[in-house]
Amino acid sequence: MIADILLPEISENVESGDVVKILVSPGDRIEVDQPLIELETEKAVFEVPSTVAGTVSEILVRVGDAVKVSEVLARIDTNSESAGASASAEQKKSSAATAEAKPNRESSKPAVDQVSAAVEKVVATASSSKPAVAPSTDPAPASPTVRRLARELGLDINAVPGTAAGGRISAEDVRAFAKSIIQGAASAGGAGGPAPITLPDFSKFGEIERAPMSKIRQVTARNLARTWNIVPAVTQNDEADITNLETARRKYGPRVSEAGGKLTMTAILLKVCASALERFPEFNASVDIANQEIIYKKYYNIGVAVDTENGLLVPVMRDVIDKNIVDLSVELSQMAARARDRKLTPAEMEGANFTISNLGGIGGTGFSPIVNTPEVAILGVSRGKMTPTYIDGKFEPRLIMPLSLSYDHRAIDGAAAARFLRWICEALEHPILLALDN
C-alpha cells in the first residue's frame, strides 16, 4: 500500500515553508519518525518526519520548492511491513481529515502577504484613535480556511460582512473587506502610512551585488517594522554592580557544568526577570487595543535572543518561575545550540511574555532593544566594566553592568519602568532579595 506523507500543520499563522534539504532517496528503507526533508519557515528550520515505515517510493518536492500545509511531500510503500500497512491506513484517514480542514488557498501566498502588510500599516496607524476592526460577540459563519485568511490579514472575522447564502463569509468577502480598509485609509489622507522608498540605481555609482533576504530576515524585518509603527516605546537605563555575583558565578560554574549546562549571566537573569514579572504584573501583559483591555498572564515564559549565522532567533524558555538556575542553565545551553544548528521548531519560539537580549559577550555600553510585540517590554544587557566606585569615603573597583529596558508606553508608565529595572539591579546585587520577595 502506498501512503502519502503530507506537510503537517506547522504552527499558528505558519502555512508554508521552503524545502532546504532532502534527507532520503527513492528506494531507501525508512522507519516511523525518520526525517524525510528539512523545511525552512519564517520562524525556523526543522525536519519533517515520516508517519509510516516502509520504502520510499517517490519524492514529490525538490530543494527550493515552496510547499503548503497538507501538500504531499513523498509516497511510502508500506506493503513489506504489516505494521506499516496499519499505520498507512491511519495516515490516510488523518490525511483526509487534514485535507478537509486545510484545503488549498484560493489565492497565492505572496498576494496574501502583500495585503497583510498593507492592512497592518492601516490598523497600526489608525488603532490609537479608532480601531479599524470592531469585535463581535457572535460567532462568524465562516470556514476554518476563511478564518485563517482573516488572521493572516490582521482582521477580526466577526467584523467581515458575509455575502454568501445565510450571511456566510467567503474568502472574497475577507479580501474585499481588507481592500475597503486600505482604500478608506488612503482617502482619509494616507492613514496607511508612507509609500515604500524608491531606491536609486546604485550600479551607476559602482559594483553591486544583490542577495535574497532569508525567510528569517524577512519575518524579522516585517515584525520589527510593524512594532515600530504601533508601539510607542521608551528605553529606561540603569546599572547593576555585579562584582559579588560574578565571584559567585565563577565559583559555582563547575557545578552547573557537571549538570550539562553553563552558568551564564543570561541564565541568572532568566530567574531574576521571572521574579520581577511576578512582582510587577504590568510587565507580564499584552495590550488588546481592539477591546481596550490589558491581558495579564499567569505564566512566565521568557524569550532569549540568540545570534546565529542565519539571523536572530528567539527560543522561549517556559515556566521559568518554577525552575532553578541550574535547570535554566542546562535548558538554555540546549536551546541556544538548537538555535545555532537551525533545529528549533516554530513552537519553541512562541508564547514569550518578555525577552532578554544580551550583547555583553560582543561589547557596547548600552542600546535600545525593540519591544517584541505583543510583549510589552524587553531587557537589553551590555558588557560589564570595571569602574572606580566611591564607597565609604574611598574609590573601589567594581564590576558594573549596564541594563536597558525598552517598554510599551501604552501599558507602562516611566515610574513603573524605573522601579522594575531598579528591582532587577538590586536582585543582581543582593540575591537574597529573591528569597525575601518570593
Note the pLDDT of residue 213. Answer: 83
CB 157 within 8 A of CB 177: no
Q: How far apart are CA 189 and CA 359, in angstroms?
A: 41
Stretch (H or E) spanning 406: strand 394-408
- Quick one: 161 exposed, middle or buried, by C-beta within 10 A (0-12, 13-18, 19+)? exposed
Where are the CATH 2.40.50.100 domain residues in the chain?
Answer: 2-101
Give the architecture-level CATH label for domain 232-437: 2-Layer Sandwich (3.30)
Please identify every residue annotated as catalytic: 409
Stretch (H or E) spanning 397: strand 394-408
Give the architecture-level CATH label for domain 2-101: Beta Barrel (2.40)
pLDDT 10s digit of each residue in the chain, 438 long?
899 999 887 766 677 888 888 999 999 999 998 999 988 876 677 788 999 999 999 999 998 888 888 899 999 999 855 444 444 444 444 444 444 444 343 444 444 454 455 555 545 544 444 444 444 445 678 877 788 788 777 778 888 888 877 778 888 888 888 777 665 554 444 434 455 678 899 999 999 999 988 777 887 888 888 888 889 999 999 999 999 999 999 999 999 999 999 999 999 999 999 999 999 999 999 999 888 899 999 999 999 999 988 788 899 999 999 999 999 999 999 999 998 888 888 889 999 999 999 999 998 999 999 999 999 999 999 999 999 999 999 999 999 999 999 999 999 999 999 999 999 999 999 988 777 766
**pTM recorded for the entire structure:** 0.65
Stretch (H or E) spanning 39: strand 35-40
Where are the CATH 3.30.559.10 domain residues in the chain?
Answer: 232-437
Q: Pull the grid cell for residue 331.
A: 535548558
CA distances from 423 to 15, 274, 428 (A): 41, 12, 9
The owner of cell 534527507 is 23
Which superfamily does CATH assign the domain made up of 109-185 to? E3-binding domain (4.10.320.10)
CB 405 within 8 A of CB 378: yes
CB 356 within 8 A of CB 21: no
Where are the CATH 4.10.320.10 domain residues in the chain?
Answer: 109-185
Count of alpha carbons within 13 Å of 205, Cβ hemisphere only? 4
Note the pLDDT of residue 154. Answer: 73
Note the pLDDT of residue 188. Answer: 44
Q: How far apart are CA 103 and CA 15, in angstroms?
A: 11
- Three-state DSSP state, 244: helix
